[in-house]
Amino acid sequence: MKKWLLFLLLFLTAQVKTFAEDSGSKLRISLLTCSPGEDLYAVFGHSAMRIVDSTAGTDIVYNFGTFDFTDPDFYTKFVRGKLRYFLSQANYADFIYEYAYFKRPVTEQVLAISDADKIAIQQSLFENLSEENRYYKYDFLFDNCTTRLRDLIFKTNTNEAFLPPPFAVRGSTFRDHLHGYLDRAEMPWTKLGIDILLGAGADRVMSVNESMFLPDPLLFGVKGARQSGKPLEMESSMLLDYPEQISRSKSLNWLGPALIFFILGLLAILGSTWKSLITQKISGYTDLLIFGVSGLLGFVLLFTWFGTDHDSFRYNLNLIWASPINILFFYERAKKTGWYKKLLKINAILILLLVAAYLVWPGIINPLLFPVVIALSFRSWIISRS
């Protein structure tokens, strides 16, 4: 009797395994990489996953980059980092139509994974479509629509995982990858704004896995990944192919931040070195501008660090030069109290130390800010001694 039970168990196990293999062989799973667009929300591109199920006759695209525009608290949640992103699905025809309409290229990479891994990925996506699992707290660097697919592709394998090659430049940081996209899109003001907002975590050297947090690097990772010599990419094709879209005439690009900050820094220092009534007045107004704006910016950076859930904005060293105490300039400069002068001296020294630290840690400050930052240090010192 026991032998018959054992035989029955082995038979049922074999049947289940055969069914799973048959089910997996009917699935075709691919990574879709959508090229960057002209607008800011599209400048980094997009990633999605396509599953063609020949048994069910479906062709579905899964997208982790969806959020609810109709939420009445949309902007408040977005600013505070509390906007919930979620997994959605769409028919392939509807998905590709949108990118064809905006003339954005789309690349498809079919994954050469086992039937068991195909089923595991599909089941994971099904589970994440449920109401209790579909929502997640978006993080710009560590948990986004691309990293979610990266984790599915490189962590779901039941056997030895596919290993992506170290395709990124050695020593690359998150900030370096972001700069590549923003330089290509010719967005110097956006690049500057992101550099000011991002904290020290963006300057950590990425692992190979972390370097695939954006669509194009994930594409390169999939293309080069191997498992025991077997490639992860079965085939690659351009579903949509258009010329690269880069705007050459974005507003204010002709008036770059380098020129503006150089002029501001020069004017702020001029009154201290050239003792004429006009230059001193100009320097005074410039002082009000750079101290006032940097002080207000300091309150913004404090809010993004402590008042939001954006992990990427924490430990922001820009607070050394964009310090909220700069706002005291408006109220204490005329009084010239002793404690205020001491505070200005400390401020001047700390800013100079920050500039010096740039030599060994380039990411801590955008070099375009140097004229204003040095002017802040110089004027802080001069005013403290007046």
Same structural domain, 156 and 65: yes
Look at residue 286 and tell me if it is in a domain: yes
Q: Per residue in 292-305, pLDDT tens?
A: 999 999 999 999 99
Is it the case that residue 10 has pLDDT exceeding 50?
Answer: no
* pTM of the entire predicted model: 0.83
272 within a domain of the structure (yes/no): yes
Look at the chain and report how many structural domains it folds into: 2
Residues 147 and 153: their CA atoms lie apart, in Å, by 10
What number is the average pLDDT over the span 194-223? Answer: 91
Q: What would the mean pLDDT of 175-196 be, rounded to a whole number?
A: 89
- Buried/exposed 361-379: b ≥16 CB within 10 Å, e otherwise: eebbbbebbbbbbbbbbbb
Given 240, 266, 283, which residue is the final one in a domain?
A: 240
Based on the domain organization, do 28 and 151 belong to the same domain? yes
Domain assignment present for 177: no
129, 269: one domain: no
Per residue in 78-100, pLDDT (tens digit) is 767 777 889 999 999 999 999 99
The residue type of 283 is S
Looking at the structure, do residues 224 and 268 belong to the same domain, yes or no? no
How far is the C-alpha of 194 from the C-alpha of 366, rounded, in Å? 10
**Closest of 60, 115, 124 to residue 88, by C-alpha:** 60
> Residues 375-385: pLDDT tens digits?
999 888 888 87
Together in a domain, 306 and 345: yes
pLDDT at residue 23, as a whole number: 53
Same domain, 234 and 268: no
251 domain residue, yes or no: no
Residues 210 and 282 in one domain: no
Same domain, 106 and 225: yes
Rounded-to-integer distance, Cα 66 and Cα 48, Å = 11
Helix axes 215-224, 145-155, angle to 10 degrees: 20
Per-residue pLDDT at 2 exceeds 60: no
d(CA 309, CA 155): 26
Answer whether residue 8 shows pLDDT above 50. no
Per the structure block, which two tokens stand in for 235?
A: 């085939």
User: In which domain, by residue range, is 108 found?
Assistant: 21-168+206-240
Which of 127-136, 234-243, 324-333 is least confident?
Answer: 324-333
354 and 225 in a single domain? The answer is: no
Q: Are residues 335 and 262 part of one domain?
A: yes
Residue 11 counted as domain residue: no
Compute the distance between CA of residue 47 and CA of residue 65 in angstroms, rounded to an integer: 8
DSSP 8-state assignment for residue 285: H
Q: Is the pLDDT of residue 189 over 90?
A: no
pLDDT above 60 (res 19): no
In a domain, 174, yes or no: no
Domain-located, residue 305 = yes
């196990």: which residue's tokens?
A: 13
When comparing pLDDT for 282 and 239, which is higher?
A: 239
If asked whether residues 230 and 325 sit together in one domain, one would say no
Note the pLDDT of residue 245.
59
109 and 220 Cβ atoms separated by less than 8 Å: no
Does the pLDDT value for residue 347 go beyond 80? yes
Domain shared by 150 and 298, yes or no = no
Q: What is the pLDDT of residue 38?
A: 77
Residue 12 covered by a domain:
no
